[in-house]
């Protein structure tokens, strides 16, 4: 697996240091609000686990899985809910945890759904932001790293369901895509 990586963009230590900062800021901002922290599966599962350990205030957490209907419709912003939340968002302060914002379509769909379900407030924490390819107008409230327009893997992020378990984030060698 390590042999497939061309370049490490962010080491395990750099990621952990950044998450600590994000957690401290979130702890201050959400004091007394008992946020419902929502992990967007699958990519955000490792970030979610590490982030909540750095948040020192009471919170609840839940998980949601979404997928685009297919490559041809991804640009339309049509997203399908594969696994819905167990906990109601009505009247709750919501913190959405995403691994990466790319086109922004997944997140804009999710925000729309949660607004229609009468969430009290919706805030977004994203570890990676790739603004070059944004087609929906949105930004994360808490952002880890702004990254160049490259396809990254590791730390939850996959290529064909592989590499999620790498502890760092990097780019693949070009030959991996042609295998």
Ligand X SMILES: O=P(O)(O)OC[C@H]1O[C@H](OP(=O)(O)OP(=O)(O)O)[C@H](O)[C@@H]1O
Ligand Y SMILES: Nc1nc2[nH]cnc2c(=O)[nH]1
* Site of interaction with ligand Y (CB under 6 A): 100, 102, 151-153, 157-159
The strand pair at 142-146 and 152-153 is best described as unpaired
Specify the length of the chain in residues. 179
Contact residues toward ligand X (CB under 6 A) are 40-43, 67, 98-107, 158
| Choice among 4, 102, 112, 158 that is catalytic | 102
Which residue, 9 or 105, has its beta carbon nearer to ligand X? 105
Which residue, 19 or 105, has its beta carbon nearer to ligand X? 105
Residue 172 in tokens: 């693949």
What is the nearest approach in angstroms of ligand X to the Cβ of residue 34? Answer: 25
What is the nearest approach in angstroms of ligand X to the Cβ of residue 106? Answer: 3
- Of ligand Y, ligand X, none, which one sits near residue 153, judging by CB under 5 to 8 A according to partner kind? ligand Y
Separation CA 123–CA 96 (nearest Å): 6
Strand order from edge to edge, sheet including 93-101: 79-83, 60-68, 36-41, 93-101, 121-129, 142-146
Task: Let me know if 141 is exposed, middle or buried by CB neighbors in 10 A (0-12, 13-18, 19+).
Answer: middle
- Whether 112 is catalytic is no
Which residue, 141 or 145, has its beta carbon nearer to ligand Y? 145
């Amino acid at each position: 697996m390590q042999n497939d990586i061309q370049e490490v963009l962010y080491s395990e230590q750099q990621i952990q240091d950044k998450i600590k900062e994000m957690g401290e800021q979130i702890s201050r901002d959400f004091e007394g609000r008992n946020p419902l922290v929502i992990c967007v599966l699958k990519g955000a599962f490792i970030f979610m686990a590490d982030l909540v350990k750095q948040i020192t205030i009471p919170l609840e957490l839940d998980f949601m899985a979404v997928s685009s209907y297919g490559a041809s419709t991804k640009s339309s912003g049509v997203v399908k809910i594969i696994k819905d939340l167990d906990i109601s968002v009505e009247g709750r302060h919501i913190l959405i945890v995403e691994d990466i914002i790319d086109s922004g379509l997944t997140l804009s769909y999710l925000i729309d759904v949660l607004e229609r379900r009468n969430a009290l407030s919706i805030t977004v924490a994203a570890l990676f932001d790739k603004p070059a390819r944004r087609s929906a107008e949105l930004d994360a409230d808490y952002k880890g790293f702004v990254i160049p327009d490259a396809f990254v893997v590791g730390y939850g992020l996959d290529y064909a369901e592989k590499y999620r378990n790498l502890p760092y984030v990097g780019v693949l060698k070009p030959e991996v895509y042609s295998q």
